Amino acid sequence: MTKKILVVDDESSIVTLLQYNLEQAGYTVLTASDGMEGYNAVLESKPDLIVLDLMLPKMDGMEVCKALRLQKINTPIIMLTAKDDEFDKVLGLELGADDYMTKPFSPREVTARVKAVLRRSTATIEEVPLNADSTFEYGSLRVYPERFEVFLRDQSLEFTPKEFELLVYLMENKNRVLTRDQLLSAVWNYDFAGDTRIVDVHISHLREKIEENSRKPFFIKTIRGIGYKFEEPKVV
């Protein structure tokens, strides 16, 4: 089934360029020229992925991203930001974007990113592993990889596809120290040119959701100067 991509950008030349290249890659492309139109298009058309510009009329990209996540809509989002605006990149990720790209960019790079994000999010949600009953259970935390479900003290938690995939990967490698570069390669599946803050932001999201005290994490430990480790709680 053909995947639907929603492109939200107020620059018609960029929309035309992205639409042409994504359609050439085999996707169905919907477009919107402002944030409000884009937000409504997501609700009505339920795209498989959103390419969302940051600077938009009516609602900017941050507002759209935040509004969708508050509605529990976890459609993958690739945020388009101005070159070298580090604050915008990190804030976009904190609000729930799965990835970001800086302008100017090549259409080929956008297509590659779209394919990578779709492949990873689809694998996270749809692929049933050979052991369909696989469950991770540590104390009051239960994770069902094949069902895309997480429970903490029997309360269901909401995750974006990328947050969920990162959590499962950490659990699959429990008690093992993983570098930020390892996590980038395994979870995001392509080179981020050494920008490991995307890992730190997603780890912060996970801690806020699964830890009693995110400043003194019980599960996800920081290994200073190296990376992170999901630590299996010791049975007393």
* 61-117 pLDDT, tens digit each: 889 988 998 888 888 999 888 756 555 666 666 667 888 788 888 888 888 889 888
pTM of the entire structure?
0.64
pLDDT of residue 129: 45
Answer yes or no: do 118 and 178 share one domain. no
Is 66 within a domain?
yes
Contact status, residue 84 vs residue 54, Cβ threshold 8 Å: no
Is the same domain home to 148 and 103?
Answer: no
Better-scored residue on pLDDT, 232 or 179: 179
- Cα–Cα distance for residue pair 7/53, rounded to 1 Å: 8
Indicate whether 127 pLDDT > 80: no
In the predicted structure, residue 222 carries a pLDDT above the cut 70: yes
Q: Are residues 170 and 119 in the same domain?
A: no
Do 9 and 99 reside in the same domain of the chain? yes
Tokens 């694998």 identify what position?
Answer: 123
Does residue 235 fall inside a structural domain? no
State the average pLDDT for the chain: 84
Q: Are residues 53 and 21 in the same domain?
A: yes
Give the Cα separation of 224 and 206 in Å (integer): 18
The phi, psi pair for 57, rounded to 5°, reads: -75, 160
With a cut of 90, say whether residue 160 has pLDDT above it. Answer: no
Are 113 and 151 within one domain?
no
The SS3 assignment for 80 reads: strand
Is residue 117 domain-shared with residue 147, that is, in the same domain? no
Distance of CA 139 to the CA centre of its chain: 26
What CATH number does residue 187 fall under? 1.10.10.10
Per-residue model confidence as pLDDT tens digits over 20-74: 999 999 999 999 999 999 999 999 999 999 999 988 999 998 899 889 988 888 8
Q: What is the CATH number of the domain that holds 114?
A: 3.40.50.2300
Angstrom distance (rounded) from CA 230 to CA 100: 26
Calculate what percentage of the chain has a pLDDT beyond 90. 39
Q: Are 87 and 146 contained in the same domain?
A: no
Name the domain count of the chain.
2
- pLDDT for position 83: 59
> Residue 28: enclosing H or E segment and its boundaries?
strand 28-32
Q: For residues 90 and 151, state if they share a domain.
A: no
Domain end residue (candidates: 94, 126, 158):
126
User: Which of the residue ranges 20-29, 121-130, 137-146 has the most confident prediction, judged by mean pLDDT?
Assistant: 20-29
Q: What region, left, alpha or beta, does residue 222 occupy, with left being phi > 0 and alpha being psi -120 to 50 degrees?
A: beta
User: To which H or E segment does residue 49 belong?
Assistant: strand 49-53
Same-domain status, 113 and 200: no
Q: What is the pLDDT of residue 88?
A: 60
Give the pLDDT confidence score for residue 45 in this predicted structure.
93
- What are the residues facing 28 on neighbouring strands? 4
Residue ranges making up the domain that contains 186: 136-230
To the nearest 5 percent, what fractions of the chain are helix, strand and coil?
Answer: 45, 20, 35
Task: Give the least confident one: 152-166, 185-199, 212-226.
Answer: 185-199
Q: How confident is residue 132, by pLDDT bands cut at 50, 70 and 90?
A: very low
Task: Evaluate the CA torsion angle 183, 188, 194, 195 in order and state its sign.
Answer: negative
Tell me, what's the pLDDT at 130? 41
Structure tokens at 90: 């990190």
Q: Can you give the pLDDT at residue 69?
A: 84
